[in-house]
Structure 1
Amino acid sequence: MRFIIGSKQTTKLVEQGKATQVYVAQDADPRLKDNIVRLCETASVPIIWSDSMKSLGETCGIEVGAAMAAVITEIE
């Protein structure tokens, strides 16, 4: 599995049906959270909540915070 980090990329992958899961930081911008939660519910993509943008960044292996990240399979 592979993380694609960022709200634009995550949104695009959910819309294209390529995301298998989405990680969302609890402290991300509420408008971004509301949008991706709605998209994930519509597309039946499970959401995994992270305590903070900092901890989500660490989960994704980057040194900065991340609001959200999509998980995709490595098939492509």
Structure 2
Amino acid sequence: MIPELNTDNKVVGTKQVKRALLNDKAKTVYLAEDADSKIKNEITTMAEEKQVPIVYVESMEKLGKSCKIDVNAATAALLK
């Protein structure tokens, strides 16, 4: 479990994380190591461009559970 993600001030899912990055609202991005390589490349590039730190999580299952959702999650972000 990732205690930082036990907050309401987050978004979960690739689409929402991309939106948060585009709007400069993401403080930290969490990325599952077993996520699809296309998603990993997209999110990594966007986060690096916006200078947002990336925390890698070992699996989508672990990231989903840390976000308190019942499904796997490829990405999540804490908001500013």
> TM-score by structure 1 length?
0.91
Alpha-carbon shift at residue 66 of structure 1 (Å): 0.1
Cα distance in structure 1, aligned partners of 2:51 and 2:22: 11
Is it true that 1:30 corresponds to 2:28 in the alignment? no
Percent of pairs identical after alignment? 38
Alpha-carbon shift at residue 36 of structure 1 (Å): 0.4
Cα deviation code 1:5-52 (max 9, x no counterpart): 010110010011000000000000100000000000000000010000
SS at match of 1:58: helix
Partner of residue 67, structure 2: 60
Partner of residue 58, structure 2: 51
Cα distance in structure 2, aligned partners of 1:29 and 1:40: 17
Partner of residue 16, structure 2: 9
Is it true that 1:19 corresponds to 2:26 in the alignment? yes
Alpha-carbon shift at residue 64 of structure 1 (Å): 1.0
Q: Which amino acid aligns with 1:40?
A: A
* C-alpha RMSD over aligned residues: 0.9
> TM-score by structure 2 length?
0.87
Unaligned runs of 5+ in 1: none
How many residue pairs were aligned?
Answer: 73
